[in-house]
Amino acid sequence: MHVERHADYAALSHRAAEIVAELVRQKPDAILGLPTGSTPEGFYAALVAMQISLASVRTFNLDEYVGLPPEHPQSYHAYMQKHLYQHVDVRPKNRHILNGTAPDVEAECLRYEEAIAAAGGLDLVILGVGHNGHIGFNEPGTPWSARTRKVALAERTLQANARFFGGTGPMPTHALTMGIGTILGAKQILLLASGEGKAEIVREMVEGKPRVEVPATALQAHPRVTVLLDKSAATLLSR
Ligand code: GLP
């Protein structure tokens, strides 16, 4: 794991956008795995500000809530529209997000895995990390071989994300997510963490013993992972 400590959230967001822009310069038709959550908002803003063309890029989002239609304001479809797609030239046919309202969930997850494989596999996956170590929506206990599937959200995740659902109805209890195996299949992984609330899980992820109880520790086994931190997220690292 290559760990970079940046001065603040703006600096780490800008660095993440630079890494993506560099990949797209080298490989205009790069296959990107994209995150949601509050952490990547600055990264998307920085990427948009760079005004590079993403016209040949293909994107696959990590996850989506079960039961939320794309037009629901808290769906990850809506999130992506707001933070990225309305500002850039990624072609609609090249934007992939799991359908949380698919009638046949298993078929939907299989279709997604097949689409990633048919595209040639993920070149770069960008991740945030949950307080309990989840990546995508792979909660503690997920086997590292897991592929895209339906999962139940952990209590801690429900609590953390409830703030987004204040005025927009009850929060979904399940999600569709790329598996840890799907994520580890990417050629390169970038993980962003910001703020002191993430310091403990960052320490676990970088310096802790790899174990299924902390999904993000699976990344230690991947040959090309860059962890971008701001100062506060890095405070508990020993080196
Ligand atoms: C969400 C997403 C994850 C994200 C995590 C952290 O539930 N499914 O992909 O990394 O929680 O979110 P935040 O960046 O808001 O702390």
Give the tens place of pLDDT for each residue, 105-163.
999 999 999 999 999 999 999 999 999 999 999 999 999 999 999 999 999 889 888 88
Among the residues of 75-224, which ranges form H helices? 76-80, 105-119, 155-161, 180-184, 199-207
Among 161, 198, 214, which is best to mutate for testing ligand 1, by the most ligand atoms less than 8 A from CB? 161
Return d(Cα 32, Cα 95) in angstroms, integer.
10
Give the tens place of pLDDT for each residue, 25-75.
999 999 999 999 999 999 999 999 999 999 999 999 999 999 999 999 999
pLDDT for residue 166: 80
CA angle at 194 for the pair 190 and 195, rounded to the nearest 5°: 160
Is the CATH number of domain 2-230 3.50.50.60? no
Cβ of residue 63 lying under 6 Å from some atom of ligand 1: yes
Contacts of 150 (CB under 8 A, 6+ apart): 66, 105, 106, 109, 174, 175, 176
Query: What is the residue extent of each domain of the chain?
Result: 2-230
Phi, psi values for residue 211, rounded to 5°: -160, 150
pTM: 0.96
Is the CB of residue 74 less than 8 Å from the CB of residue 65? yes
Return d(Cα 37, Cα 131) in angstroms, integer.
12
Distance of CA 103 to the CA centre of its chain: 24
